[in-house]
Chain A
Amino acid sequence: MAHLNPTPVLEPAQDRTMILNMGPQHPSTHGVLRLLLEIDGETVIKCIPDIGYLHTGIEKTCEAKFYQQVVPLTDRIDYLCPMTNNLTYCLAVEKLLQLEIPPRAQYLRVLLNELTRINSHLVWLGTHALDIGAMTVFLYCFREREQLLKIFENVAGQRMMTSYFRIGGVSLDPPLDFWKKVKDFIDKFSDRVDEYEGLLTANPIWIERTRGVAYISAEDCIELGVTGPTARGSGIDWDLRRDMPYSGYEKFQFKVPVATEGDVYARYLLRVQELRESNKIARQAFEGMPEGPFKAEAPKVVLPDREKMKTQMEALIYHFKIVTEGFAVPAGEVYQGVESPRGEMGYYVRSDGTAKPYRVHMRSACLANLQALEKLCVGRLLADVVAAIGSIDIVLGEIDR
């Protein structure tokens, strides 16, 4: 294994520099990221990320599963925003099948997707502040996150690995108390964001640690493949929800916050803005939730209702066939990109006409964003590395897959 390899990957270039190994068990690397840092005194002069510690071969596993069996695997890629990954995969397969999704399912997907984004940003905010030394924020963020996890548990039966979306819609209509819980959350959340901002935005220590730190320019973002809030913090006005809408996002009104400073503080302010915007989208989806079916009318692809299964012969046959032999997807290839909390999450799915995907590839936003880390850290102090890692918001499960 790379970490057992006795030969160091990096040799000190001069006598005065030294090599520092950070991770993979470092608490502020947000998982198992290992960094090889060459430092001169306290200044970082080289930073090489070493990844692969969480590689589980999900892409290979997908090739051995039926299309519907891949959905639970997509949760495990990015455990902070499972619904976004569910959505991307489902949209890609639906594009292959050219399946039309009923409006209620689309709205439910948007609602849960935005709640997931809030969930992910809350974990980011809490841990990022914790890394830099502001402990209290973490407790506040996890208080709201707990509320969200209860909502997810309510709707999907699972707190984190939800697997709630299905090819063709969602698995079940939400239970009645779901709506009350969502309303409670949406109504109060704006005030909660004010609380976080009260702790950090004007806090002199926070500003000192983040303003002007880990700068990246817009050109470098394009060059290095950086997407999402990290790129928008450098002035790239690009959000897939607005610019290449999917799952009915064109029906929602929201702003895409953009900053031009390109430092950690700008990215912090931007994500806090995104929390508010996501809450707005969630409210629109909640209030405009249409009635109707929550999954597509496609008996060969979508599992029938329990009720139908017990009364109709065909439904029972289709259920049996889908579960035992899957459903064939017409040959072809698609790429579906969505705006995950971290940037462009994309699924490339190729079908050869059978019931198992020929190839599933995940375009990971974090993998591309991680390439920018060297740019962010070089020439800065060692202590800023922690702030830089936090500000690009990486999830190692998604990087390694």
Chain B
Amino acid sequence: MALQPAITEIDQLKDSPAVTALQSASLIESAKFDRDELTIYVNRADIRRACEILRENTQTKFNFLSDITCVDVFPSEPRFEVIYSLLSHLRKERVRVIAKLPGGDPSIESLMGLWLSANFFEREVFDLFGVRFVGHPNMRRIMMPEDWEGHPLRKDYPVEGYR
């Protein structure tokens, strides 16, 4: 199969309910449809509202938070991309919501109020990337020891660790 170019024009993605729902609340910064997967970029201040709309809207019904993770694109800015994977059991569809965070102040609102499953996912991202989730009741390290220095999955952290 030849690789199809990604669709990045929001107008061409109008038939996706997720795009329409977020567009009507004007929360979309950009969107792309690549390799059969829809990605929506939102401002970090809007992340909770965007997820709430995707969950509650009767056209989208993304009722399940399957994953939260992060990518460090060091040294470019904004440095962190926090990635939320939502799943709709009813419509059998996935969507990926991405919020970009600056390296100087990597913090974003917690989704604990929407899904309790965000608990461990957010703690893991905090532990390994140093991204703070505002409103998370228990923002402690989860994988690494409590007194560990640094955040191992950042790109400026050596693979072999500091010796």
Q: Give the A interface residue count (CB, 8 A).
A: 49
A381 within 8 A of B: no
B1 proximity list for chain A (CB < 8 A): 98-100
Interface residues in B84-108 by Cβ distance below 8 A to A read 85, 87, 89, 92, 94, 96
Report the minimum CB–CB distance from B105 to chain A (whole Å).
22
In the bound complex, CA of A100 to CA of B120 (Å): 36
In the bound complex, CA of A225 to CA of B141 (Å): 20
Question: What mask results when residues 71 to 92 of chain B are scored 1 for a CB within 8 Å of chain A, else 0?
Answer: 1100000000001010101001
Report the minimum CB–CB distance from B163 to chain A (whole Å).
15
Determine whether the beta carbon of A335 is less than 8 Å from that of B96: yes
B128 proximity list for chain A (CB < 8 A): 59
Question: What mask results when residues 19 to 61 of chain A are scored 1 for a CB within 8 Å of chain B, else 0?
Answer: 0000000000000000000000000000000011001010111
B145 proximity list for chain A (CB < 8 A): 1-2, 4, 52
In the bound complex, CA of A63 to CA of B157 (Å): 12
Determine whether the beta carbon of B67 is less than 8 Å from that of A98: no
Residue of A nearest to B145 (CB): A1
Determine whether the beta carbon of A363 is less than 8 Å from that of B66: yes
B60 within 8 A of A: no
Interface residues in B1-60 by Cβ distance below 8 A to A read 1-4, 6, 34-37, 39
Report the minimum CB–CB distance from B112 to chain A (whole Å).
11
Picked from B3, B36, B92, the residue with its CB within 8 Å of the CB of A330 is: B3
A199 proximity list for chain B (CB < 8 A): none
Determine whether the beta carbon of A332 is less than 8 Å from that of B34: yes
Picked from B63, B94, B117, B143, the residue with its CB within 8 Å of the CB of A51 is: B143
Tell me which of A152-160, A183-191, A209-217, A236-244 binds B.
Answer: A236-244
Interface residues in A173-226 by Cβ distance below 8 A to B read 222-226
Picked from A60, A96, A225, the residue with its CB within 8 Å of the CB of B35 is: A96
In the bound complex, CA of A4 to CA of B147 (Å): 10
Picked from B3, B69, B115, B144, the residue with its CB within 8 Å of the CB of A361 is: B69
Determine whether the beta carbon of B67 is less than 8 Å from that of A346: yes
A328 within 8 A of B: no
Main secondary structure of the interface of B (DSSP, over half): loop
Picked from A52, A60, A225, the residue with its CB within 8 Å of the CB of B159 is: A60
Determine whether the beta carbon of A346 is less than 8 Å from that of B153: no
CB contact under 8 A between A64 and B159, given known A55-B143, A222-B64, A335-B94:
yes
In the bound complex, CA of A243 to CA of B67 (Å): 18
Interface residues in A365-394 by Cβ distance below 8 A to B read 367-368, 370-371
A359 within 8 A of B: yes
A283 within 8 A of B: no
In the bound complex, CA of A368 to CA of B83 (Å): 16
Determine whether the beta carbon of B71 is less than 8 Å from that of A350: yes
B149 within 8 A of A: no
Report the minimum CB–CB distance from A62 to chain B (whole Å).
10
B115 proximity list for chain A (CB < 8 A): 223, 225
Determine whether the beta carbon of B120 is less than 8 Å from that of A332: no
Question: What mask results when residues 137 to 152 of chain B are scored 1 for a CB within 8 Å of chain A, else 0?
Answer: 0000111111100001
A78 within 8 A of B: no
B34 proximity list for chain A (CB < 8 A): 332-333
A400 within 8 A of B: yes
A253 within 8 A of B: no
A358 within 8 A of B: yes
Determine whether the beta carbon of B143 is less than 8 Å from that of A52: yes
In the bound complex, CA of A99 to CA of B83 (Å): 25
In the bound complex, CA of A10 to CA of B157 (Å): 32
A130 within 8 A of B: no
A5 within 8 A of B: yes
In the bound complex, CA of A221 to CA of B4 (Å): 37
Determine whether the beta carbon of B3 is less than 8 Å from that of A63: no
Interface residues in A77-124 by Cβ distance below 8 A to B read 95-100
Report the minimum CB–CB distance from B107 to chain A (whole Å).
20
B110 proximity list for chain A (CB < 8 A): none
Determine whether the beta carbon of A98 is less than 8 Å from that of B119: no
In the bound complex, CA of A243 to CA of B90 (Å): 10
CB contact under 8 A between A359 and B71, given known A64-B159, A335-B37, A370-B120:
yes
Picked from B2, B36, B71, B85, the residue with its CB within 8 Å of the CB of A363 is: B85
Question: What mask results when residues 333 to 367 of chain A are scored 1 for a CB within 8 Å of chain B, else 0?
Answer: 11101000000101010100000001101010001
Closest 5 CB pairs of A and B: A225-B117, A1-B145, A363-B67, A55-B143, A361-B69
Inter-chain pairs besides A52-B144, A334-B37, A361-B69, 12 sampled, C-beta below 8 Å: A1-B146, A59-B153, A61-B159, A100-B1, A223-B117, A224-B117, A225-B64, A225-B65, A333-B39, A334-B35, A335-B37, A359-B72
**Chain A residues engaging chain B, CB cutoff 8 angstroms:** 1-2, 4-5, 51-52, 55, 57, 59-61, 63-64, 95-100, 222-227, 236, 238, 243-244, 330, 332-335, 337, 344, 346, 348, 350, 358-359, 361, 363, 367-368, 370-371, 400-401
Q: List 22 A-B contacts (CB under 8 A).
A: A4-B145, A51-B143, A52-B145, A59-B128, A59-B153, A60-B153, A97-B3, A98-B4, A222-B63, A223-B115, A225-B66, A236-B89, A333-B37, A333-B39, A337-B94, A346-B67, A348-B83, A348-B85, A359-B72, A363-B66, A363-B69, A370-B120
